[in-house]
Amino acid sequence: MAIKMIIENVTNSSRVYVLIILLFSAGFAYPGTIGFFFALDEDKSAFEAAVGNPIRTMNLVGGTVAFEYRVGAHRVVAAKMGSGCVSTAVTVARVLALNPVDRIICTGPAGAIGDQAGIGTWYRIGEVAAWQQGRAGEGGRVFPSESALRKVSWKPDDWPEGAWKQMPATKLVSGEVFVASGEKRGELARGFGAELVEMNALGLLAAAEGTTAKVLILRVVSDKADEKASEDFSAFLKTYDGAGGKMVAELVKALPVGKDEPAAHDALRELIGE
């Protein structure tokens, strides 16, 4: 209410400057901003098919490229994660440094190391373990250290209704290499009690530490992390239609408009073209 009164009581020629001052005084944040980090180009294409093309492309330091979208009242900043947790952490950190976000949504593939995960099945990730921080024990088992495990805080009321709420929650292990070994697959499953293995989630969570953003990590099974993993992954990509990007678009559209978001105020909505 206070923001609306300020905007409506200045001249039209001054309104844009007031908007800039208000947004900069909020720590450069645009309330209602969602960070969307994806591993597959198909997710970006499907997202754009649902919400439209980006309104801006941002060339960040180190060659990182981010894309800005308007989805209803919300601003979305998207970027493709790199290959491996370190590369992912660098990408996410660069994006968040210039684009503080309220929420982070991450999509990507994962290899199945448990018996329950079938190719094409989606999971919501509840725990992420850094398997390469573990230590080798007797019988070739891997035992995670306490510092290797990160939990993804999940409060159902923080998210609108949708397929993402119906997905089974599971634990995955995350590292720097593409696992394509039946022996390693079994070792990770036994040592961590996890269902999935991939190369991004740990880096994303590390970069997001210290923020207040709500995090949602979604993974689709693309292979079995065994000797046929590369072959199965290639086959998966040939038929994958960007379901993750479609879900993210639906989710963002379903998010409520917060009372502090510019688009919640008529004068600000006019200025930002909503």
Return the number of other C-beta atoms located less than 10 Å from residue 250's C-beta: 16
Do residues 112 and 9 both lie within one domain?
no
Give pLDDT, residue 223: 97
Residue 258's pLDDT band, with cuts at 50, 70 and 90, is low
pLDDT value at residue 261: 56
Closest-CA residue to 110 (of 260, 243, 236): 236
Shared-domain flag, residues 207 and 265: no
Tell me what the pLDDT averaged over the chain comes to: 84
> What mean pLDDT do residues 147-168 have?
87
Q: What is the pLDDT of residue 6?
A: 40
Q: Which two tokens stand for residue 163?
A: 């397929």
Range of the domain at 181: 32-257
pLDDT tens digits, 216-228: 999 999 999 999 9
For residue 32, what pLDDT band results from cuts at 50, 70 and 90? confident
Q: Give 228-241 pLDDT, tens digit per residue.
A: 999 999 999 999 99
Q: How confident is the model at residue 153 (pLDDT cuts 50, 70, 90)?
A: confident
Res. 52: pLDDT tops 60? yes
pLDDT of res. 138? 45
Q: Tell me which DSSP letter residue 121 carries.
A: -
What CATH number is given to the structural domain containing 99? 3.40.50.1580
Q: Strand 169-174 to strand 149-151: parallel, antiparallel, or no bridges (unpaired)?
A: unpaired
Task: Please state which of the ranges 9-13, 145-149, 183-187 shows the lowest mean pLDDT.
Answer: 9-13
pLDDT above 70 coverage of the chain, percent: 77
pTM of the shown model: 0.83
Least confident of 16-30, 50-64, 88-102, 157-171: 16-30
The pLDDT of residue 140 is above 50: no
Whether residue 56 is found in the same domain as residue 128? yes
Closest among 207, 239, 208 to 222, alpha carbons compared:
239
Overall average pLDDT of the 170-191 stretch: 92
1 pLDDT above the threshold of 70: no
Q: What tokens appear for 117 in the block? A: 């995960």
Residue 214 and residue 237 in one domain: yes
CA-to-CA distance for 5 and 265, rounded, in angstroms?
10
Same domain, 148 and 247: yes
Based on the fold, state whether residues 90 and 57 are members of the same structural domain: yes
**Calpha distance 199→259 (Å, rounded):** 37
Q: What local confidence, expressed as pLDDT, does residue 10 receive?
A: 44
- Asked if residue 227 and residue 210 are part of one domain, the reply reads yes
Q: What is the pLDDT of residue 127?
A: 94
Do 192 and 251 belong together in one domain? yes
Domain co-membership, 197 together with 251: yes
Residues 2 and 66 in one domain: no
What pLDDT shows up at residue 116? 82
pLDDT at 19 (0 to 100): 41
CB 71 within 8 A of CB 253: yes
Clarify whether residues 12 and 119 are in a common domain: no
- Residues 149, 273, single domain; the answer is no
| 65-119 pLDDT per residue, tens | 999 999 999 999 999 998 999 999 999 999 999 999 999 999 999 999 988 888 9
Query: What is the per-residue pLDDT for 34?
Result: 97
Average pLDDT on 120-141 reads: 76
| Domain count for the chain | 2
